[in-house]
Chain A
């Protein structure tokens, strides 16, 4: 069965590229442009992993992490923060709010992101 990924990203060019690439890599992908929409989608879609941006219109990615923590089922879904914020305290904040990883978009290729996604989904199996 295809693994399900939810992308929460407001920049269309980035979310479109991620969407296409992940689709072609065999994932089932859904997108959301805001944290609020992301929560709604996550509840309907119940993904295997969430790719989350931090700087979003309205609620931030950090608030998204806080929200899903409160939901018994969603709190189990692994989240990779994929942001262009990358200072030490920003990374620490993501991790302390429960994200599995905090990655900097500009430093990674799509292929490296997919590798990371697979690694984390594999870890979650056990």
Chain B
């Protein structure tokens, strides 16, 4: 069998031929290797070899890499780093071991600017499309309203019923467009919360009222459990919190069986309020759990049960709850049900 051993200079040649950046340090955090890609990304040259990792602080762009990893060079897996307006990187940092002994520290840098740009364009497209959709929606809504009021001549009962249905559908479409816009905003990191002391229960009850008819239709047994103590008013954005309750309730009902249960429990803890929304629905397949908060993602069993759906509710809920410095998570068993939890700090 043909075999050959690579020499050091061969390695250098190979690593210099890739566009990703590679930097290797020894255990004393001295730079022992840097490839051409790394030098190009950070506008420095190979003379940095032999210097300590701190030397990166002398270079405008490389400085940001130093701040990301810290002087202790913490283990990092594909972390995003914006170096310039139009330069986005994905950075990994790993200690290479020989047996149990640490041998070297490897830093890998991958340029993701193009992907970020495409993503940004996609987000802008969603945002512009959503705005553009609102104009025809307004025209349709107002025209139907005009007809329903009989201002364009009398209409029959049947026509009235059909027009009312169309009016309702237009409103549903308006909500979807609104959600799409919120997702686009969240992607741009532009969700701005208007925090004010608010009554969480009031927001919850108003969300529940939107689903009363649907719960009745599906014969859902609904329960709500409140703590003995009165909940304090906390600083939050009522509109966005309403969206979170709506998204979680919508899922709990939509993916539940007929005659199933939905239970909402609120807990007053030392520094936070915890909310749990439990259902006896289809649950989340084990494999898909890590993806459930991703934008536009819908679990396969959810798609099967309800083909239409935008896959934005949980993504937005996460962005909103985290924007309030809270946490959101879930427990779920496929076929049995799901409980979503979130916390909000008492501020």
Contact = CB atoms under 8 A, between A and B. Distances in A.
Interface in A92-126: 104-107, 109-111
Interface stretch (A17-25, A30-38, A58-66): A17-25
A14 B135 contact: yes
Interface in B130-184: 131, 134-135, 137-139, 141-143, 145-146, 151, 174, 177-178, 181
B218 interface: no
Interface string B239-271: 000000000000000000000000000000000
A107 B141 CA distance: 9
B325 interface: no
B178 to A, nearest CB: 8
Nearest to A12: B139
A11 interface: yes
Contacts of B151: 20-21, 24
B192 interface: yes
Nearest to B142: A17
Interface string A46-78: 000000000000000000000000000000000
Interface of B: 131, 134-135, 137-139, 141-143, 145-146, 151, 174, 177-178, 181, 185, 190, 192, 194
A84 B131 contact: yes
Interface in A1-31: 11, 13-14, 17-18, 20-21, 24
A77 to B, nearest CB: 24
A85 B131 contact: yes
A111 B194 CA distance: 28
A111 B146 CA distance: 10
Contacts of B192: 88-89
Contacts, number: 51
Contacts of B139: 11, 13-14, 17
Contacts of A20: 146, 151
Contacts of A107: 174, 178
B185 A110 contact: no
Contacts of B145: 109-111
Interface of A: 11, 13-14, 17-18, 20-21, 24, 84-89, 104-107, 109-111
Contact of A105 (B134, B185, B194): B134
A105 B135 contact: yes
Contacts of A85: 131
A11, A13, A20: most-surrounded residue (chain B CB, <10 A): A13
A89 B190 CA distance: 10
B142 A11 contact: no
B101 to A, nearest CB: 55
Contacts of B135: 11, 14, 84, 105-106
Given A17-B142, A106-B141, A88 B134 contact: no
B146 A14 contact: no
B131, B178, B194: most-surrounded residue (chain A CB, <10 A): B131
B185 A109 contact: no
Given A11-B135, A17-B143, A84-B135, A106 B185 contact: no
A24 B152 CA distance: 12
Contact of B143 (A13, A24, A84, A86): A13
B134 A106 contact: yes
Nearest to B177: A106
A17 B147 CA distance: 11
B130 to A, nearest CB: 9
Contact of B146 (A17, A84, A87, A104): A17
A107 B139 CA distance: 11
Given A86-B181, A110-B142, A110-B145, 13 more contacts: A13-B139, A17-B139, A18-B142, A84-B131, A88-B192, A105-B134, A106-B135, A106-B137, A106-B138, A106-B141, A106-B174, A106-B177, A107-B174
A14 to B, nearest CB: 6
16 contacts: A13-B143, A14-B135, A17-B139, A17-B143, A21-B151, A84-B135, A84-B138, A87-B190, A88-B192, A106-B134, A106-B135, A106-B174, A107-B174, A109-B141, A109-B145, A110-B146
A8 B143 CA distance: 19
A24 B177 CA distance: 31
A69 to B, nearest CB: 26
